[in-house]
């Protein structure tokens, strides 16, 4: 039996299909999170077994560590200049391929890398596919200095936005505030429903102290959705879809990397 949990199977399936888009010589943005970690492992296997030569630009220190471990050459975005492709996960996506990202607190680097790419592919399980964004808390990275004032300004803004909830909580790591790779804090906005994502994103980023929010609009080109039975669905812009299948046995050689 494949030693994969039901939660890991869709992540592996989506990741295995997504790395097929990577070609020799590409400069590839490497996302952050549990699903993206499977993608990095799958891509590392292609590097080792096929001799694929790529340059990987990680979106967090933990992704960089994993990429080096599996044999992917890691470079900075400054060294790469521009990327051919970024593959990353998402916390939610809707029919317009608008995303909520930042559950892992890396959405600032993820957005910079994704927008510096010719194409972005998102890998996800079916639970991330939503009719309307907002059930997952929206992360907002903020400067530590005066963060309480920034929090009040954010909550004041939310009072006039098309959302159902208006609470902004400081993300914690045990007894201390969670810090991003840049040393900033994260406010999680518990909105329930986001009626106008573009309007919300624009106004959030105008608040002093806000660095970046986790709404990704007009950035994702394709979503690869993996299912626990090996089925994979590709969703493109304008609702274009195709389906396929991945052999779960392919995960056996990756278990040692866990």
Find the farthest-apart pair of alpha carbons in the chain and give their distance in angstroms, rounded.
54
Q: Is 102 annotated as a binding residue?
A: yes
Q: Is 84 annotated as a binding residue?
A: no
Contacts of 63 (CB under 8 A, 6+ apart): 30, 31, 32, 36, 37, 40, 106
Contacts of 72 (CB under 8 A, 6+ apart): 30, 40, 43, 44, 47, 54, 56
The DSSP element (H or E) to which 103 belongs, if any, is none
Q: Is 110 among the catalytic positions?
A: yes
Q: Is 125 annotated as a binding residue?
A: no
* Catalytic site residue from 92, 110, 141, 212: 110
Q: Is 69 annotated as a binding residue?
A: no
Q: Is 175 annotated as a binding residue?
A: no
Instruction: Please give the Cα distance from 167 to 100 (Å, whole number).
Output: 17
Q: Is 60 annotated as a binding residue?
A: no
Q: Is 88 annotated as a binding residue?
A: yes
Q: Is 33 annotated as a binding residue?
A: yes
Q: Is 91 annotated as a binding residue?
A: yes
Q: Is 103 annotated as a binding residue?
A: yes
Contact by Cβ (8 Å): 12, 254: yes
Question: How is residue 97 written in tokens?
Answer: 């391929």
Q: Which of 230, 239, 233, 192 is nearest to 94 (CA)?
A: 239
Annotated binding-site ranges:
32-35, 88-91, 101-104, 128
Annotated binding site for substrate: 32-35, 88-91, 101-104, 128
| Active-site amino acid positions | 110
């Amino acid at each position: 039996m494949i030693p994969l949990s039901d939660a890991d199977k869709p992540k592996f399936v989506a990741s295995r299909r997504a790395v097929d888009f990577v070609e020799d010589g590409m400069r590839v943005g490497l996302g952050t999170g549990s699903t993206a970690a499977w993608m990095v492992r799958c891509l590392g296997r292609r590097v080792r077994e096929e001799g694929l030569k790529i340059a990987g630009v990680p979106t967090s220190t933990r992704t960089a560590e994993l990429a080096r471990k599996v044999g992917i050459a890691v470079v900075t975005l400054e060294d790469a200049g521009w990327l051919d492709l970024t593959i990353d996960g998402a916390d939610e996506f809707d029919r317009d391929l608008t995303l909520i990202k930042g559950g892992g607190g890396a959405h600032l680097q993820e957005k910079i890398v994704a927008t510096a790419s010719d194409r972005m592919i998102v890998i996800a399980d079916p639970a991330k596919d939503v009719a309307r964004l907002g059930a997952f808390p929206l992360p907002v990275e903020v400067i530590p200095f005066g963060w309480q004032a920034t929090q009040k300004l954010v909550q004041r803004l939310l009072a006039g936005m098309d959302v159902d909830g208006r609470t902004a909580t400081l993300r914690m790591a045990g007894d201390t505030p969670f810090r991003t790779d840049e040393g900033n804090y994260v406010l999680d906005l518990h909105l329930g429903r986001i009626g106008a994502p573009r309007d919300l994103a624009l106004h959030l980023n105008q608040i002093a102290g806000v660095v970046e929010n986790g709404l990704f609009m007009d950035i994702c080109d394709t979503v690869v959705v993996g299912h626990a039975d090996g089925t994979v669905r590709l969703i493109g812009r304008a609702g274009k879809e195709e389906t396929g299948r991945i052999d779960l046995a392919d995960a056996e050689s990756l278990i040692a990397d866990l």
